[in-house]
Structure 1
């Protein structure tokens, strides 16, 4: 069976191209809006640009080289540039992931950037239904399932607490006793001077970094208030495991 070349396959009208790009902007914006409202590093405009850029790339890959389609030695591959988007978007997502002590943040934003790139590719390829359903499911995951995630996150029992206490006070002993009374188990304790460059300074506060495990998560806020009121404690900061 002889295959015939159909040049119309590699052509797209300006109207259709405009529809795809505008739709990519709208769908990417819907996902970015949730990230923006949550105050995340990659928000509304970032998601729009990723989705729109992905759509432009797949349109270029499919229709940007149509004048060479009829050449006998040219083999058109509409997915060649799109494949690079899927692997290349990782550098942007990695930039949103931060680790501070035990806290890891930005994983959800990195994942949303990756999925919004795939939605942009789908829109650019004319896969409208898949792009629309994908966007709907992502928005549901970010908006609605976020509430479910918060319920389960309350059960996360590992935290890091950073104390600043007056040197020479009995604050550390009182902290340990108070933690035991609230069911807080100390897994790791590191003591350092706030002015690490001057070890002879006996007036600088001590920084005590503790990795703790909670037995009763509901009383954690109450425990923090009690710990901050101990004599000799100049301040404290806390962070828990989160994605």
Structure 2
């Protein structure tokens, strides 16, 4: 005898959770992200199954009218438990955090599976549509906004002379995808007054860089400060770093 809660309706909810989560996973697979179609399908179907178990798995216990269970407790545990999977795809590469979008989309897939398991099919469908709007429609918009907000920054450096550090400084800036618009010694073209405002010592060269890029200039300042032989680095918006 088939227990209640295992009929065509529940099977349909599981099937919808599988289809929707697999669609999200397919989009991430095409983009070659760290989590692909298998991961997303498993997350979505599992979340839906947890919700169905929460809704129908304890009917025999509740029949006695002496035990009261809160089915929302299972949903809360899914929300917190999915964080372990999301945390596994977040990592650091070249001082930049990567995988946040993938982790968020895994979390979203779990929510979609929960909605399917709870019978909120319309909400699940609308959420999937919102996912594709965010993933496919937002990147071009963000790129346009970034291009419009790209501005130049002046970076002032003091570094030890005779160690070939200028090449390292320029390579570091370009490796972080900053375009170098101007390079000049401190005080050049501005008379001796400006040169006197920069720290001066024998064997120390003051350098002014004007750069333009998409990333925060603080990333570049931190990387330049880590170069051996660079004494101080500062930008127009940052305090001096030794």
Q: 2:85 matched to which residue of 1?
A: 92
Distance 1:170 1:64 in 2: 72
Q: 1:64 matched to which residue of 2?
A: 57
User: What TM-score do the two structures reach when normalised by structure 1?
Assistant: 0.64
Match of 1:187 among 221, 230, 233: 221
Match of 1:115 among 108, 111, 114: 108
Match of 1:36 among 21, 29, 42: 29
Distance 1:88 1:21 in 2: 20
Give ranges in structure 1 of 5+ residues lacking alignment. Answer: 1-9, 159-168, 193-205, 214-243
Distance 1:131 1:17 in 2: 15
Contact 1:54 1:124 (C-alpha < 8 Å) held by counterparts = yes
Contact 1:62 1:77 (C-alpha < 8 Å) held by counterparts = no
Distance 2:37 2:234 in 1: 36
Q: CA deviation at 1:37?
A: 1.4
Match of 1:143 among 136, 142, 159: 136
Q: 1:55 matched to which residue of 2?
A: 48
Q: CA deviation at 1:146?
A: 2.3
Q: What's the secondary structure of 2:227's corresponding residue?
A: strand
Distance 1:13 1:98 in 2: 40
- Assess, with a 3 A threshold, how the Cα gap between structure 1 residues 35 and 157 changes in structure 2: closer, same or farther: farther
RMSD over aligned CA atoms reads: 3.2
Mapping of residues 16-35 of structure 1, within 5 Å: 16-35=9-28
Q: 2:188 matched to which residue of 1?
A: none
Number of aligned pairs? 180
Contact 1:34 1:143 (C-alpha < 8 Å) held by counterparts = no
Residue 50 of structure 2 corresponds to residue 14 of structure 1: no
Distance 2:234 2:25 in 1: 35
Give ranges in structure 2 of 5+ residues lacking alignment. Answer: 153-161, 172-179, 184-208, 212-216, 236-242
Contact 2:5 2:57 (C-alpha < 8 Å) held by counterparts = no
Q: CA deviation at 1:139?
A: 1.4
Distance 2:170 2:51 in 1: 62
Q: CA deviation at 1:86?
A: 0.9
Distance 1:109 1:77 in 2: 31
Residue 66 of structure 2 corresponds to residue 73 of structure 1: yes
Cα deviation 1:140-167 (Å, max 9, x = unaligned)? 1111212222333455789xxxxxxxxx
- Assess, with a 3 A threshold, how the Cα gap between structure 1 residues 156 and 95 changes in structure 2: closer, same or farther: farther
Higher relative contact order (CA 8 A, sep 6+): 1
Q: CA deviation at 1:66?
A: 1.5
Distance 2:139 2:40 in 1: 18
Q: What's the secondary structure of 1:144's corresponding residue?
A: helix
